[in-house]
Structure formats: C-alpha cells, structure tokens
C-alpha cells in the first residue's frame, strides 16, 4: 500500500474574497469549480506547483481556523513577492518555529 500526498480541504465563506486571496494574492490557479446548483455552495480545487488544495463553502466541511504546515523552498523570495503586491490587509512575515 502506498499513501499519496494529502489534499487539504479548507473552509471558505466568501467566493470573491477567497479568489482575491488565493488566486490574485498568493498566485494559485483554479483547476475546477463545482456547485450542485446555481445558488448552492462552491467547492473548488486550486493548485500551484505540486500543491493541491480544495476550498469548500459547504457547511460541515473542515474547521474554520484550522492550521497546516506546508513545505516550501525560497520562502524569503516568495515573501518579497507578496510584500511587493502591497495588499491592503496582509503583510506576511517569516517566523522561526521550533
């Protein structure tokens, strides 16, 4: 038996703000979107490089405020890119963790 890479599901509440953050700010791309009906919650997959995330507006999917650890390289360069976007609410900093 082998276990593949996990695909986290993150709870989201506002489609416009979600896309503004994950697509416009962080630079993910939308792979697909799904709704069971026009006025029903969004479920979508976004990705960047080898990272795949599912974002869900469905009640009961995931926990708001959950945390996850993501391995990456060139963190300082990515931080500079994000700071250069001059987002109104976000000024990411790097913290040393144990």
Domain at 47, CATH number: 3.10.180.10
Number of domains in the chain: 1
**What's the mean pLDDT when you consider all of the chain?**
90
pLDDT score recorded for residue 20: 93
Percent of the chain at pLDDT above 90?
60
Query: Is there a domain that residue 60 lies in?
Result: yes
Query: Is there a domain that residue 95 lies in?
Result: no
Query: Is there a domain that residue 68 lies in?
Result: yes
Compute the average pLDDT of residues 15-41: 95
Q: Cα–Cα distance between 67 and 77 in angstroms, integer?
A: 23
- Give tens-digit pLDDT for 46-78: 999 889 999 999 988 888 777 888 888 889 999
SS percent in the chain: helix, strand, coil, step 5:
20, 20, 55
Look up the domain containing 77 and give its range: 9-84
Query: Is there a domain that residue 98 lies in?
Result: no
Q: Looking at the predicted structure, is the pLDDT value of residue 1 above 90? A: no
């Amino acid at each position: 038996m082998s276990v593949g890479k996990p695909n986290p599901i993150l709870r989201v509440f506002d489609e416009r703000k979600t896309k503004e953050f994950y697509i416009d700010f962080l630079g993910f791309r939308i792979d697909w979107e799904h709704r069971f009906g026009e006025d029903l919650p969004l479920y979508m997959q976004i990705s960047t490089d080898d990272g795949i995330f599912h974002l869900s507006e469905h009640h009961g999917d995931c926990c708001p405020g959950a945390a996850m650890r993501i391995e990456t390289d060139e963190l300082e360069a990515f931080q500079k890119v994000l700071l250069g976007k001059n987002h109104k609410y976000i000024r990411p900093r790097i913290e040393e963790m144990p």
